[in-house]
Chains A and B, each alone.
Chain A
Amino acid sequence: MRNHYDQADVKRVIDDLAAKVAQAFDPREPMNIVGIRTRGETIAQRLTRMLQARGFARIGRGILDITLYRDDLSEIGPTPIAGPTEIDIPLDGIPLLLVDDVLFTGRSVRSALNALVDFGRPSVIRLGVLVDRGGRELPIAADYVGIVLPHVPADVRVNVRLAEVDGVDEIVVEPKA
């Protein structure tokens, strides 16, 4: 299995993800794209631009911080910094695409779903992720996946780095720091 995906790979993966999303939604209808802080939000930004280029004109945008909804705070190391959630758009009755970088245990997505219902009732919620690395601990699956990395051992990390946040686009499979 490859351990490193560079900028060109990342571009291909995001393009792929955008194509799958574009096929599944109607460009004439409103839709909301909500990214999970931090890198899910960056991917959501890029997806939004790519969908707009494909004629999606009615995209509402939001940012979700799930820190306060987590059930695994003690297991993820140092006290995570909770940031503000920014959902100033109406969610009721509109399809919503939830975006994250890596889908692993499914616990982040579970937290995000709990958080979202406090803001409204979308007509459907779909999940798009850049990387699905397996290892689910909850009955959760992504609807649109950029790349699947099967058989990554649980003690190995899959780190997505993005230029806007990390200065570089790459996906790295590496031992836990």
Chain B
Amino acid sequence: MANKSAFRWKRKHLLALEDLTVDEIMHVLSQADAFKEVSTRSVKKVPALRGKVLVNCFFEDSTRTRTSFALAASRLSADVVDFSEKTSSTSKGETLIDTARNIEAMGVDIFVLRHPAAGAAETLSRHVKCSVVNAGDGAHEHPTQGLLDLYTMRERFGKVAGLKVAIVGDIVNSRVARSNIWALTKLGAEVILVGPPTLLPKTFEKLGVKVIHDFDSVIGQVDVINMLRVQFERIKSSQFPTVREFTRFFGLTAERFVRCKKDVFIMHPGPMNRGIEISSAIADGPQSGILTQVANGLAVRMAVLYLVTQAQ
């Protein structure tokens, strides 16, 4: 194969999509194709990471990401250890680095870290010898979510370049938005951010995207609408007037949906606030890719775990 020698994956860690080249992003996506096939087998397991140990280190709540990483690891035959903040010694005051080093001393190959502080995964990667995969660091990045969103769009449209993608809602608090922006702009998609000025400052324009405060002005033009969750736990009261007002201006309602392109693709990283940022009928409707995103997330995370391990 010509491309076999042309490209070599060298990253031991996956910390941020900002760091990745177009070739690296495309490499993850094409590897994910192979892993997607594994999930269709009756024996959904390959021995690629046999004997490796993955630690799921979550300092914030998570359903999808945590389960997805655990399942991805077990489909690759790795062993999975779950580490949760609430029952650990971090509640006794141990620092993240100390905790991680102690766990590493037990023979760990991959840390999957979710942490409320931006840069936590990067910091950790400088203090441990094993691989670190960022599963969300504050409002900074959520690279595997960005990759799975990209994979899902590519699967749906056959390409990413040239797509018009609206990312809507609480942008400022969203690591999903940042990872999506980096990945989509690198691959040549047009990104339009939509949200109220309090949750979407103009400074985002520096990332090479459009910043729009009027959802209705772009709704008929976009191929993809990625609705973000309103992150009530992160929003300061001054940023957000009322839920009803948000829904009225920025919710994906039935009235707005009829003005969308006929083949518009609806995405949401979950968990959804049904009836707030997205109406239930649309989330569960035929143009929703929400559950496809979850299924693809598994394949993408298998690809990421496989690649970072090979680079060790």
Binding site for B on A (CB under 8 A): 38, 65, 67-69, 73, 77-86, 114-115, 118-119, 165
- Bound CA span A165–B1, Å: 8
Secondary structure call for the A interface: loop
Cβ of B154 within 8 Å of any chain A Cβ, yes or no, is: no
Q: Is the CB of B43 within 8 A of A85?
A: no
Q: Is the CB of B41 within 8 A of A119?
A: yes
Q: Report B25-43 residues with CB < 8 Å from chain A CB.
A: 27, 30-31, 33-38, 41-43
Give A118's nearest chain B residue, CB to CB. Answer: B43
Cβ of B81 within 8 Å of any chain A Cβ, yes or no, is: no
Residues of A within 8 Å of B4, CB to CB, are: 78, 80-81
B289 to chain A, nearest CB (A): 21
- Bound CA span A80–B3, Å: 10
17 intermolecular pairs with C-beta atoms under 8 Å apart? A38-B1, A68-B47, A68-B48, A69-B46, A77-B5, A78-B4, A78-B7, A79-B8, A79-B307, A79-B311, A81-B1, A81-B27, A81-B31, A82-B34, A82-B48, A82-B306, A118-B46
Residues of B within 8 Å of A165, CB to CB, are: 1
Q: Is the CB of B46 within 8 A of A79?
A: no
Residues of B within 8 Å of A86, CB to CB, are: 37
Number of interface residues of B (CB under 8 A): 28
Residues of B within 8 Å of A79, CB to CB, are: 8-9, 307, 310-311
Binding site for A on B (CB under 8 A): 1, 3-5, 7-9, 27, 30-31, 33-38, 41-43, 45-48, 76, 306-307, 310-311
- Bound CA span A117–B310, Å: 25
- Bound CA span A85–B48, Å: 14
- Bound CA span A83–B303, Å: 11
Decide: A114 near B310, CB < 8 A? Known: A38-B1, A84-B34, A119-B41.
Answer: no
Q: Is the CB of B41 within 8 A of A118?
A: yes
Q: Is the CB of B310 within 8 A of A84?
A: no
Decide: A68 near B43, CB < 8 A? Known: A78-B4, A80-B4, A81-B4.
Answer: no
Q: Is the CB of B310 within 8 A of A81?
A: no
Give A177's nearest chain B residue, CB to CB. Answer: B5
- Bound CA span A129–B236, Å: 67
Q: Which residue among A69, A82, A84, A85 has the maximum number of chain B CB atoms within 10 Å of its CB?
A: A82
A119 to chain B, nearest CB (A): 7
Q: Is the CB of B3 within 8 A of A78?
A: no
- Bound CA span A69–B36, Å: 16
Give B45's nearest chain A residue, CB to CB. Answer: A118
Q: Which 3 A-B pairs have the closest CB atoms?
A: A84-B37, A68-B46, A82-B34
